[in-house]
Amino acid sequence: NDLESIEKNLQRATKMATETGGGILFITEGVFGMRGQQGKLKEIVALKEKYNFRLLVDDAHGFGTLGKTGAGAGEEQGVQDGIDVYFSTFAKSMANIGAFLAADKDIIDYLKYNLRSQMFAKALPMIQTIGSLKRLELLRNHPELKDKLWENVNALQSGLRSRNFNIGDTNTCVTPVYLEGSVPEAMVMVNDLRENYGIFLSIVIYPVIPKGIILLRMIPTTSHTLADIDETLVAFEAIREKLENGTYKEIASRTKVDLDA
């Protein structure tokens, strides 16, 4: 998401493509899954006026959640038509398995005939295919599902910010909470959240993020209630206090001694 780096690499790639007679495929994210930032698709598409490249967008977290119709980050930013190859998954907003590629017919035909090793190995079971078609129908015909999702997202994120939690610069449903602590402390913390507060979430640690930082990643859903959000906010205030007063550090240290023994 660094525009200066993007242009620098496009200049390098243009030179290589000119020398070799090749082309340029630019790959980026619709939503960066850890920080919750949208990719700068509008700015990248604008660079097509200056450079000759095809754009592939991986929009796993944007599809179904962003844009007027839920078509993703490209629709949200008004540049869906500038995306040459659109990739997403059925495993996020659709809660299913599998994935899809969308592009002009010529590109899809090319992929069909040149990725033979994938053609028969990756076909979805019919029950999953029908399930995804039904979920797509729900996304298209029931915008209230996405509206409820964003009601929950806004309640959670505004609640965290008002309690002085650092959630970075997310502008999507992905809700990261950054805390300071070690890996052992993080393990004790998420266990406490699950066992004593009934909250299950993902933990991200080094080397995905810098040492000394704990990233707790939450992704609210339409099926959550505002009562769930309130319960989560109360739990987060409790675990922050335990992290800051050394409770988790002490438990982690004691556990390590037991394991060593």
CA atoms within 13 A on the CB side of 2: 4
Count the helices and strands in the chain (H runs, E runs). 10, 7
Q: How far apart are CA 88 and CA 79, in angstroms?
A: 16
Q: How far apart are CA 224 and CA 185, in angstroms?
A: 28
The DSSP secondary-structure symbol of 177 reads: E
**Full-model pTM:** 0.87
Q: What domains can you pick out in the chain, each with its CATH number?
A: 3-141 (3.40.640.10), 143-260 (3.90.1150.10)
95 in helix, strand or coil?
Answer: coil
- Each residue's pLDDT, cut to its tens digit, for the chain (261 residues) gives 899 999 999 999 999 999 999 999 999 999 998 899 999 999 999 999 999 999 999 999 999 999 999 999 999 999 999 999 999 999 999 999 999 999 999 999 988 888 776 666 667 889 999 999 999 999 999 999 999 999 999 999 999 999 999 999 999 999 999 998 888 898 999 999 999 999 998 888 888 888 888 899 998 999 999 999 999 999 999 999 999 999 999 998 887 645 454
> Which H/E stretch holds residue 231?
helix 226-244
